[in-house]
Structure 1
Amino acid sequence: MELKDIKGKRALVTGGTKGIGKAIADELAEAGATVIVSARTKPENTAHHFIAADLTDAGQTATLAQKIEDAFGGIDILINNVGGLTTPGGGHSTLTDAHWQQELDLNLISAIRLDRILLPQMIKQKSGVIIHISSVAGKQALWNLNLAYAVSKAALNSYSKALATELADKGVRVLTVSPGATRTEPMVKFLNDYATSAGITPEEGMKQLMAQTGGIPMGRMAEPEEVAHLVHFLVSPSAAYLTGTIYAIDGGSLPTVG
């Protein structure tokens, strides 16, 4: 089935200058959307409208929303992609209060805050789609590698589901996309750092990490563009009856049902 296009829709992709965010921004623009991207620093080159913002800062988040309102009159599609693993591994004893707060601010609170600011306009126009980019770590934490990150993503999953239920009769759909291992610069750096600390090759490091989760049945990492394809479908009219669902895109790595 050919996707109905999203021509003329206004889309904001946070963290949209590289990796999964950039792939999503590029695909939505190609499908006809007017795309705005935000990040802390402006890249050397971007084909999209760019607004600098640190979304862990409430003031900068409010400024971002106001600039979008002034320039575009609001948005129709919000991709909450900002996030990342920023805390050390090693389990609970290595994580301070500051580590926990840092991970929650980046992976959970930033999305909640931006949703709260932009939702009134979506509700008023009785249409809109919000996509929260989560992670399979939200359903399968690795205590020695990503404990705080996994907890923050699990909380994002729960928040996203509750928000979808609240907004279902208001014309606004809310969905969650949970990538597994994806070939992005941060992932490559993480693998290299992990391999260096363990005194092994990056390939061996990848095998060790995947062994903890049962491996990837498809035998490879995802490409950012593959995540973007799924997001494109979910924000399109072809997915008009979908809301409140978490979509894992992980090559079959999650060993659980649902």
Structure 2
Amino acid sequence: MSFDLELTGKRVLVTGGTRGLGAAVVELLAGLGAHVLATARTLPRAPVKGVHYMEADLASAEGARQAGEATLHHLGGIDALINVVGGSSAPAGGFAALDNAEWANALDLNLMSAVRLDRALLPAMIAQGSGVILHVTSIQRTLPLPEATTAYAAAKAALSTYSKALSKEVTPKGVRVVRVAPGWIETEASVAFVERIAAEAQTDYEGGRKRVMDGLGGIPLGRPAQPREVADLIAFLVSPRAASISGTEYTIDGGTVPTV
């Protein structure tokens, strides 16, 4: 007996959809029959067949506006919005290294990109009486790492709080809002990071991997998550199979967060 997620024909926008987790989500949903539009700052080298890609800088108000308009035009509407875009390029050095520009960058990319795109697409969902918004947050909202990602962690915490408030407002109107909080995901970018750590420590990749896990306080599962594993959770949550789930955050971190 198959477990059909009933995503065939669903109109889905995935932000940050050309690399890492976003690319895994796009590939999975397209394979499940969804009509997918993916945005990112750069187009993919190997696009997924049938997926429409759009270059957009969602850290800017104009980029979010363009992405919203393109989604409604190309897909003819919207059934699910999956906000994967986010990250941090802040320098190491703790709070003193984070000037006003770094704080603004973190908030624009990790919080305001979702707020602006929600604002652009929610009216269409409310008008049809159905839709799903999924925000990818981070375990750093409860387990912040101060060396370089204080602003990122704070922005993700704000995104989680905003998402909860939004769910209470729009769920009665037929629009579900859910969150997924990943821990360390072994994406192409994280592989490069581990390789650099390993080289600096004069060890192999597994040694570098262990150093990163130790820096997180350990991962009881013994390894980071793979992008497809997180994508599987996201696909379920935006599907009709999860029709009773709204306002909730799901952590997928291999047990990294040590508290309830």
Specify if TM > 0.5: yes
Amino acid of the structure 1 residue aligned with 2:165: A
Match of 1:76 among 76, 79, 99: 79
**Which one is further off, 189-198 or 228-237?**
189-198
Hey, what's the Cα distance between the residues in 1 that align with 2:5 and 2:191?
Answer: 34
- Which residue of structure 2 lines up, in the alignment, with residue 188 of structure 1? 191
Hey, what's the Cα distance between the residues in 2 that align with 1:88 and 1:190?
Answer: 14
Is contact 1:89-1:147 (8 Å) kept?
no
Gaps of 5+ in 2: none
Matches within 5 A, 1:124-163: 124-163=127-166
Matches within 5 A, 1:26-41: 26-41=27-42
Is contact 1:3-1:236 (8 Å) kept?
no
Matches within 5 A, 1:63-212: 63-196=66-199, 202-212=205-215
Q: What displacement does 1:194 show?
A: 4.2
Q: How many pairs align? A: 257
Matches within 5 A, 1:236-251: 236-251=239-254
Gaps of 5+ in 1: none
- Which residue of structure 2 lines up, in the alignment, with residue 232 of structure 1? 235
Stretches of 4+ moved more than 3 A in 1? 192-206
Q: What displacement does 1:199 show?
A: 6.1
Amino acid of the structure 2 residue aligned with 1:54: D
Matches within 5 A, 1:55-70: 55-70=58-73
**Which one is further off, 37-46 or 107-116?**
37-46
Hey, what's the Cα distance between the residues in 1 that align with 2:99 and 2:201?
Answer: 23
**Overall identity of the aligned pairs, in %:** 49
Kindly indicate whether residue 6 of structure 2 is the aligned counterpart of residue 5 of structure 1: yes
Could you say if the C-alpha distance between residues 200 and 153 of structure 1 is closer, same or farther in structure 2, counting changes exceeding 3 Å? farther
Q: What displacement does 1:195 show?
A: 4.5
Is contact 1:173-1:242 (8 Å) kept?
yes
Hey, what's the Cα distance between the residues in 1 that align with 2:169 and 2:237?
Answer: 19
- Aligned-residue CA RMSD in angstroms? 1.7
Hey, what's the Cα distance between the residues in 2 that align with 1:251 and 1:118?
Answer: 33
Is contact 2:35-2:75 (8 Å) kept?
no
* TM-score for both structures, normalised by structure 2: 0.93
Hey, what's the Cα distance between the residues in 2 that align with 1:11 and 1:28?
Answer: 8
Secondary structure (helix, strand or coil) at the match of 2:251 reads strand
Hey, what's the Cα distance between the residues in 1 that align with 2:5 and 2:68?
Answer: 28
Amino acid of the structure 2 residue aligned with 1:58: A
Matches within 5 A, 1:8-19: 8-19=9-20
Is contact 2:130-2:173 (8 Å) kept?
yes
Secondary structure (helix, strand or coil) at the match of 2:77 reads coil
Cα distance per residue 1:44-95 (max 9 Å; x no partner)? 3312111111111211221222222222222101000111121122211111
**Which one is further off, 54-63 or 221-230?**
54-63
Hey, what's the Cα distance between the residues in 2 that align with 1:219 and 1:211?
Answer: 10
Hey, what's the Cα distance between the residues in 1 that align with 2:5 and 2:85?
Answer: 27
Hey, what's the Cα distance between the residues in 1 that align with 2:28 and 2:149?
Answer: 30
Is contact 1:3-1:233 (8 Å) kept?
no
Cα distance per residue 1:159-200 (max 9 Å; x no partner)? 111111111101000111111111101212333344555666
Q: What displacement does 1:101 show?
A: 0.8
Is contact 2:37-2:75 (8 Å) kept?
no
**Which one is further off, 212-221 or 247-256?**
212-221
Hey, what's the Cα distance between the residues in 2 that align with 1:3 and 1:249?
Answer: 22
* TM-score for both structures, normalised by structure 1: 0.94
